């Protein structure tokens, strides 16, 4: 019996990735890291800044994600995100630029506790990648 399911990742620019041989995806949800295998219960969740790990028959891939929403239903995982970067192709200058902008955003006096938490999380993940 096949243990594979379909994954589609979409950002505002394009359909970023489509795979139909995925065996597991680990996502950085607000509830914590969630590992999704075939026949997982249907779920909708929000993503926080972190690393998405995709395991498939063709290997393992990792992506930095800024935020987003996931939906898993009928062995199809959809991820909608505002920013996603493949860690294999990542440009260190772009990472540094994103980190600098995030640190500047954190210095604004009128940000909420939730925004501060998400910005801190994003900086921590970016530092771990760099």
| Best CA proximity match to 1, nearest among 34, 39, 35 | 39
Q: Are residues 20 and 79 in the same domain?
A: yes
Q: Are residues 103 and 78 in the same domain?
A: no
pLDDT (tens digit per residue) in 34-71: 999 999 999 999 999 999 999 999 899 999 999 999 99
Report the C-alpha gap between 23 and 38 in whole angstroms.
Answer: 7
* pLDDT at 23 > cutoff 60: yes
Q: Are residues 37 and 80 in the same domain?
A: yes
CATH code at 14? Answer: 2.60.15.10
The total of other beta-carbon atoms located within 10 Å of residue 74's CB is 8
- Residue 91 binned pLDDT confidence (cut-offs 50, 70, 90): confident
- Residue 94 binned pLDDT confidence (cut-offs 50, 70, 90): confident
* pLDDT at 95 > cutoff 90: no
Instruction: Collect all residues with Cβ–Cβ distance below 8 Å to 58 and sequence separation of at least 6.
Output: 19, 21
| Strand 5-11, strand 76-80: pairing | parallel
* pLDDT score recorded for residue 28: 96
Are 107 and 115 in contact, with CB atoms under 8 Å apart? no
Residue that the structure tokens 């493949």 belong to: 86
pLDDT (tens digit per residue) in 97-110: 889 999 999 999 89
* pLDDT score recorded for residue 1: 56
Supply the range of the domain harboring residue 112: 92-129
- Say what angle helices 113-129 and 92-106 make with each other, to 10 degrees: 160
């Amino acid at each position: 019996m096949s243990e594979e399911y379909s994954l589609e990742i979409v950002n505002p620019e394009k359909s970023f990735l489509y795979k139909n041989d995925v065996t597991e995806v680990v996502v950085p949800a607000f509830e914590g890291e969630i590992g999704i295998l075939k026949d997982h219960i249907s779920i909708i969740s929000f993503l926080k800044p972190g690393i998405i790990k995709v395991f498939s028959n063709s290997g393992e891939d990792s992506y930095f994600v800024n935020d987003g929403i996931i939906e898993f239903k009928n062995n199809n995982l959809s991820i909608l995100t505002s920013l996603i970067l493949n860690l294999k192709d990542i440009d260190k200058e772009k990472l540094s630029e994103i980190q600098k902008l995030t640190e500047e955003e954190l210095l604004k006096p009128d940000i909420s506790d939730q925004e501060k938490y998400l910005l801190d999380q994003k900086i921590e993940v970016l530092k771990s990648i760099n």
